[in-house]
């Protein structure tokens, strides 16, 4: 078990390299059922954004640990009527054992964590998506074994997934290349955090050249070109992002044993083609399944399950 009991996970930067590797090992053991843990606690899900994989995987993970889940839909709570975040946080702290929050602003998440004594998990903000990237790392580890020295190229929008990939890859000793159009770069503070973690031991490249970034890599990764809350911009982005589509030509530049990842939902024909996402090198469905296993490992660690 990792020494995370009682802590928050607001960013991958909250974890050490050793803690990431221990979480991945715990997830592997739970997935294989070599280890079974029990934790009769209550998880609250406070989601202000739509969710399929995150909501379902957290719910199933908590049930499989022997706990319970309360879905705190903001539309049917006082949050939707303007109750201050700090008031909601202090009340939920009295009822729940742990809280997963999916919201827009990272600052709102941090306010919850400041006022709640129970562990708070970032289930997605506009800045980061740490649980997704833990599942990504587990998937890559299953395919290649040791993560150290592998190279991942992310093509598309410099969004929350790109930010968390920068941190996650740096933590496990992977090279990471982010290929994006001008003006859509990942968060500059996160880039510097990743460089500090890497300390020059791994490659961290931000480039506009998708083809050069894809050459010889082990993992090609993409996400939608317009994230939640940016839907009105989607049609304007299409011509800008077209050179960053993962298709047979781009995949052909990667290593022959390369895998393809997408955090879903996917817009087939936009950021990824039907042929690639359904092709033999796609590990998208394993990646989606692994959300369950890493989140079970995270819940077990934060709650001190036995």
Lowest-pLDDT range of 57-61, 70-74, 136-140: 70-74
Query: Is pLDDT of 231 > 80?
Result: no
Evaluate if residue 282 carries a pLDDT over 90: yes
Whether the predicted pLDDT of 80 surpasses 80: no
CA distance linking residue 188 with residue 217, whole number of Å: 24
Active-site residue flag, 129: yes
Residue among 21, 129, 177, 237 flagged as catalytic: 129
Q: Give yes or no for a contact between 145 and 212, defined as CB atoms under 8 angstroms apart.
A: no
Q: 260: closest CA among 273, 243, 242, 241? A: 273
Q: What domains can be seen in the chain, in order of their start residue?
A: 12-128+291-303 (3.40.50.1370), 132-287 (3.40.50.1370)
Is position 102 annotated as part of the catalytic site? Answer: yes
Residue 7: active-site member = no
- Predicted pLDDT of residue 75: 78
Six token digits for residue 145? 């074994």
Q: Do the Cβ atoms of 124 and 46 come closer than 8 Å?
A: no
- Give the pLDDT score at 128: 98
The pLDDT assigned to 82 comes to 81
Place of tokens 């990504």: 136
Q: Which of 126, 169, 223, 287 is catalytic?
A: 223
Quote the CA–CA distance of 174 and 134 in Å, as a whole number: 13
Any bridge partners for residue 42, and if so which?
Answer: 68
Name residue, tokens 């974890």.
15
Of the candidates 21, 102, 177, 237, the residue annotated as catalytic is 102
Question: Looking at the chain, which runs of residues are DSSP E strands?
Answer: 42-47, 68-71, 98-102, 120-122, 151-155, 175-179, 204-207, 219-222, 259-262
- The answer to whether residue 223 is catalytic is yes
**Catalytic option among 21, 262, 291, 293:** 291
pLDDT at 132 over 90: yes
Kindly state the DSSP code that residue 35 receives in the 8-state scheme.
Answer: S
Q: Flag whether pLDDT at 229 surpasses 70.
A: no
Residue 1 binned pLDDT confidence (cut-offs 50, 70, 90): low
User: With 80 as the cut, is the pLDDT of residue 170 above it?
Assistant: yes
Question: Out of 263, 287, 293, 295, which one is annotated catalytic?
Answer: 263
């Amino acid at each position: 078990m990792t020494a995370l009991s009682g802590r928050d996970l607001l960013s991958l930067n909250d974890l050490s390299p050793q803690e990431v590797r221990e979480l991945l090992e715990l997830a592997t053991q739970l997935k294989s059922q070599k280890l079974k843990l029990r934790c009769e606690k209550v998880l609250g899900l406070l989601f202000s954004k739509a969710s399929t994989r995150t909501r379902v995987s957290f719910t199933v993970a908590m049930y499989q640990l022997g706990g319970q889940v309360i879905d705190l839909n903001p539309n049917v709570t006082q949050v939707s009527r303007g109750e201050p975040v700090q008031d909601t946080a202090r009340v939920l702290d009295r009822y729940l054992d742990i809280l997963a929050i999916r919201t827009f602003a990272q600052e709102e998440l941090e306010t919850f964590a400041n006022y709640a004594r129970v562990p708070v998990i970032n289930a997605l903000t506009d800045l980061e998506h740490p649980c997704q990237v833990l599942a990504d790392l587990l998937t890559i580890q299953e395919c290649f074994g040791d993560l150290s020295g592998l190279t991942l190229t992310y093509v598309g929008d410099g969004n929350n997934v790109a930010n968390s990939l920068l941190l996650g890859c740096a933590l496990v000793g992977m090279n990471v290349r982010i290929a994006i159009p001008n003006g859509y770069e990942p968060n500059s503070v996160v880039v510097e955090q990743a460089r500090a973690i890497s300390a020059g031991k791994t490659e961290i490249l931000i480039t506009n050249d998708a083809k050069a970034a894809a050459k010889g890599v082990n993992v090609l990764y993409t996400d939608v070109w317009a994230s939640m809350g940016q839907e009105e911009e989607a049609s304007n982005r299409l011509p800008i992002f077209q050179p960053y589509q993962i298709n047979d030509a781009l995949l052909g530049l990667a290593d022959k044993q390369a895998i393809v990842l997408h955090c879903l939902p996917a817009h087939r024909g936009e950021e990824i083609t039907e042929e690639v996402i359904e092709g033999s090198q796609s590990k998208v469905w394993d990646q989606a399944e692994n959300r369950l296993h890493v989140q079970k490992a995270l819940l077990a660690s934060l709650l001190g399950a036995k």
